[in-house]
Amino acid sequence: MNFNDIPLRIPNLKKIEEKAKLLSEEFLAAKTADEALKVVKKYFKYYDEISTQFIVISIRYSINTEDKKIKKASDYCDEISPVIGNISNNFQRLLLKSKFRPELEAKLGKHLFDLYEVGDKIMDEKIIPELIEENKLVTKYETLLASAKIPFGDEVLSLTQLGKYMVSKDRETRIKGAKAYWGFLEEHDAEIGEIYDKLVKLRTEIAHKLGFKSFTELGYLRMSRLDYNAEMVKGYREQIHEVVVPEAEKLIKRQLKRTHMKEALFVDLNLTFLSGNPTPKGDTAHLVKCAQKMYHEMDETAGKFFDFMVESNLLDLDAKHGKMGGGYMTYLPKYKAPFIFANSNGTAQDVDTLTHEVGHAFQGYLASSIKVPEYRTPTMEGAEIDSMSMEFFAYPWMESFFKEDTEKYIYEHLSGAILFLPYGVEVDEFQHFVYEHPEATHEERCAYWRELDKKYRPWIKYGDFEYLEKGRYWVRQSHIFGSPFYYIDYTLAQVLALQFKCEMDKNREKAFKKYIKLLKMGGKYPFIELITRAHLNNPFVDGNVKKVIKPQIKVLKSIDDSKL
């Protein structure tokens, strides 16, 4: 298959409703559990077909938000996806109430029925109008950020393209880049604040309609968090605060010393080394060639997988106008094909994103034979272990990407993994505040963010960037808008990826086998059971964060960063 040849099929709501009706009637008419199971398998296949249609449209719109035809298709999908979600849930409810449920659970696994029980709680026909509006608001935010065309020197740049100037070793360039970037967001602050306010109030209304006290509980169920809760997350955040923040502060002091900076101005923290940050040596095509060689040497199956990705045009990596920001991996079930989207801009993050999203994609590839759609991919925190661990497994090949900057990159990436954790839990605590206080104004939300800055990143200063001093840094974080409560997943996964790093430092081959086992399990189990089966430590247990942070701090101390 070739992604460029996949036809753009617009989902036909009427036909989907008719097919769902036929499947439901056939399921209800089943006289044996085996007959019922055959219908369920037909449903899985049809679900994959419709999902693929939606995903192809989503990919093409994120690549080019300025294509009117694709935008129209995307807007239509925003309209009908909640309706189709309800249709799907109605069929799943038949399984929950079926007289053959015990036999079906034995064949398909109890976890699938647990997920269907959650689906029954979070979906109802009465909230479809609100879900449609939620989709539209998220798309409005993403399209706004993608629309940025910012004059900068002789160029006109997107927000992502400005990234390389904000990490320049020339301070004046960094400041100009940051002013251009944040100036765009400040110019649209009222609109962004209004979009988010509408989202918060709308999600709260949805939660109330479904019988939840607040959106927080509903948000956790939307993320399929079946074996941990907000109280456990709060305890985990405290581990990060107590263990990681002091170590992060020491790393910042080391950075200030080697870059000859007196204070931690955010614009200067983008410079990791006085001689300049590590940069990949070559364009995107070169990075892909390096990755291809790396994956063939890493593992035979990984090599075949990456060849498939390249040959099938399943990578869209370069930043360009009209393209949505960020990076992601998604999966096309009909074609058993992952797809990687990124925004390469000539910084080390290009390699981070490539290895990260390849981790996701490799998991999708290895789990492609799983018939139950819900089992192919873990929940988000499980999925992020796959991606973040791959970043570490790629270390031995970084010389082909970075040449003379290799040691710089390893130091920056590992220290960055630790420095990320306080920011990640800051995003999470901010969202808990937001949904516990949906009546808060934009100014009150921003003020609370600034307070959290002082708790989790006490070193950070914004200087004369008044917009950020007023607590606006969070408005750039698309997850806060589109995927509420998602961000903590990155931090949980980072802690577990650091456990893989500790293990690969001792026995790389053994650690990689353990990693492959995790990937192949897909989403057959809820998060804590998944990591338990993979013999990984539970990050919610007090002390487990410290176990992985301390050894990697020792690794960083062993590197003489003053010479880099």
> Taking residues 417-440, what's their average pLDDT?
98
Nearest-angstrom CA–CA distance, 471 and 290: 40
Q: What is the pLDDT of residue 486?
A: 95
Please report whether residue 141 resides in a domain: no
Please report whether residue 203 resides in a domain: no
Please report whether residue 62 resides in a domain: yes
- Determine the 3-state secondary structure of 275 from DSSP: coil
Please report whether residue 82 resides in a domain: yes
Each residue of 306-340: pLDDT tens digit?
999 999 999 999 999 999 989 999 999 999 999 99
- CA-wise closest residue to 125 among 25, 17, 5: 17
Each residue of 449-468: pLDDT tens digit?
999 999 999 999 999 999 99
Answer whether 319's CB lies under 8 Å from 334's CB.
Answer: no
Nearest-angstrom CA–CA distance, 389 and 508: 12
Please report whether residue 447 resides in a domain: no
Q: What is the pLDDT of residue 5?
A: 96
Each residue of 490-544: pLDDT tens digit?
999 999 999 999 999 999 999 999 999 999 999 999 999 999 999 999 999 999 9
Q: Tell me the whole-structure pTM to 2 decimals.
A: 0.94
Please report whether residue 102 resides in a domain: yes
Each residue of 354-373: pLDDT tens digit?
999 999 999 999 999 999 99
Mean confidence (pLDDT) of the chain: 97
Nearest-angstrom CA–CA distance, 478 and 402: 29
Each residue of 125-171: pLDDT tens digit?
999 999 999 999 999 999 999 999 999 999 999 999 999 999 999 99
The pair of structure tokens assigned to 437 is: 């206080």
The pair of structure tokens assigned to 25 is: 């009637």
Range of the domain at 27: 3-121
Q: What is the pLDDT of residue 1?
A: 81
Each residue of 42-62: pLDDT tens digit?
999 999 999 999 999 999 999
- The pair phi, psi for residue 423, each rounded to 5°, is -65, -40
Please report whether residue 150 resides in a domain: no
The pair of structure tokens assigned to 375 is: 């089992």
Q: What is the pLDDT of residue 25?
A: 98
Please tell me the total count of domains within the chain. 1
- Is residue 470's pLDDT more than 90? yes
Each residue of 260-270: pLDDT tens digit?
999 999 999 99
Please report whether residue 18 resides in a domain: yes
